Amino acid sequence: MTKSYRSVSYAILGVLIIFAWLHLNGGRMEFHFSEIWNSLFNFSDQNQDLIIYREVRIPRTFIAIIAGAGLSIAGLLMQTLFSNPLAGPSVLGITSGSSLLVAISMLTGISFFASDYGIVAVALIGAVIFSLIILLFSMFVKSHVSLLLIGIMLGGFTNAIIQVLQVSSKATQLKVFTLWGFGSMQQVSFSQIPLILAIFGLGIISLVFLIKPLNLLVIGEKSTRLLGIQLQQFRILIIVVTAIFAGLITAYCGPISFIGLAVPNIVKILYKTQNHLQLIIGSALIGAISLLFCDLIVLWLEPWILLPLNGVTALFGSPIVVWIILKRF
């Protein structure tokens, strides 16, 4: 059991490294070790190659890995918490919460929120608020489908407000927001990497405390409680960690759908386990691969057409989700 888990994980890690390398070199299999090294540690703004790596390619690959891993882990947490294989940060409206607050700060031009920290902060707050709303609803609705529908309605509701904001906003603000809404890995600069890493790291460290309750939650909430787990606290913590991942990524990459929903299901099929330590590692690896792959397609087609990333994730994600529904329900 653990043996197959190890070999599968190493194989996946190998694929991840290949994809990351391809992505880092603009979609081509080239080996510019010295440029990458120098762009990181001996940077000079006279050398154009170094500037490309430092300001464009390294941040883009970095955020694709972080976003793919984070969204997939967030999806896994939601699926286990609500014992629903179709749950995920975008389906349940958590991403919508971030989008709404980001839209308010981008489109109304309140300068307090326009800074880097401001956008991240409002995206996190939006994600937390909407997660708590979903958690509250989950205590009253018994059916899995109802909760998903409530999440989709939350998304519809926020979209309506965003559209009203869009109509009444200035052209420049509207352009910035629309590009953000397409989803993109190109909005992160080198100097933002430490902040992103710090917040992402906080989420990862919190996961350590969640593995035991997550492992037990698969047999139901009542049974988990009767095994001595104080579920109220953990439910909130699971929701907050999900919101950290979803909010952080939405702030920097826009609302990216399908990754958080599809990847954990693929991981469960590959790993055949309910051990959440393994599922979290698998989701992080396969999530990173999936988003790198989608962004590679964007990169490869760039000379001819500028694809929105959200279009690509949906193109691959929606058939996978339909396949999961056919298989599980």
Instruction: Tell me which DSSP letter residue 47 carries.
Output: -
CB 5, min distance to other proteins, A: 12
Is residue 219 a contact residue for other proteins (CB under 8 A)?
yes
Candidate residues 17, 164, 208, 306; the one interacting with other proteins per rule CB under 8 A: 208
Contact stretch for other proteins (CB under 8 A) within 8-16, 120-128, 178-186, 273-281: 273-281
Candidate residues 52, 135, 195, 211; the one interacting with other proteins per rule CB under 8 A: 211
Candidate residues 78, 216, 261, 321; the one interacting with other proteins per rule CB under 8 A: 216
Contact 35, 210 (CB under 8 A): no
Nearer to other proteins, 1 or 18 (CB): 1
Is residue 9 a contact residue for other proteins (CB under 8 A)?
no
Contact 212, 224 (CB under 8 A): no
Residue 15, token pair as written in the block: 């694929």
State the number of binding residues for other proteins (CB under 8 A): 23
CB 86, min distance to other proteins, A: 14
Q: How many CA atoms lie within 13 A of 113 on its CB side?
A: 21
Candidate residues 9, 159, 173, 273; the one interacting with other proteins per rule CB under 8 A: 273
Nearer to other proteins, 38 or 215 (CB): 215
Nearer to other proteins, 250 or 265 (CB): 265
Candidate residues 182, 209, 300, 316; the one interacting with other proteins per rule CB under 8 A: 209
- x-marked contacts with other proteins along 250-269 as a string, rule CB under 8 A: ------------------x-
Contact 85, 265 (CB under 8 A): yes
CA 3 distance to own-chain centroid:
29
Contact stretch for other proteins (CB under 8 A) within 34-42, 130-138, 203-211, 316-324: 203-211
Contact 93, 246 (CB under 8 A): no
Q: Is 210 helix (H, G, I), strand (E, B) or coil?
A: coil
Nearer to other proteins, 166 or 215 (CB): 215
CB 321, min distance to other proteins, A: 17
Candidate residues 3, 194, 228, 304; the one interacting with other proteins per rule CB under 8 A: 228
Nearest alpha carbon to residue 229 among 211, 206, 249:
211
Most distant pair of Cα atoms in the chain: their distance: 65
Contact 74, 245 (CB under 8 A): yes
Nearer to other proteins, 153 or 219 (CB): 219
For 257-320, the DSSP string reads -SHHHHHHHHHHHHH----HHHHHHHHHHHHHHHHHHHHHHHHHHTTT----HHHHHHHHHHHH
Phi, psi angles (nearest 5°) of residue 71: -65, -40
Q: Which residues bind other proteins (CB under 8 A)?
A: 1, 208-209, 211-212, 215-216, 218-219, 222-223, 225-230, 268, 271-275
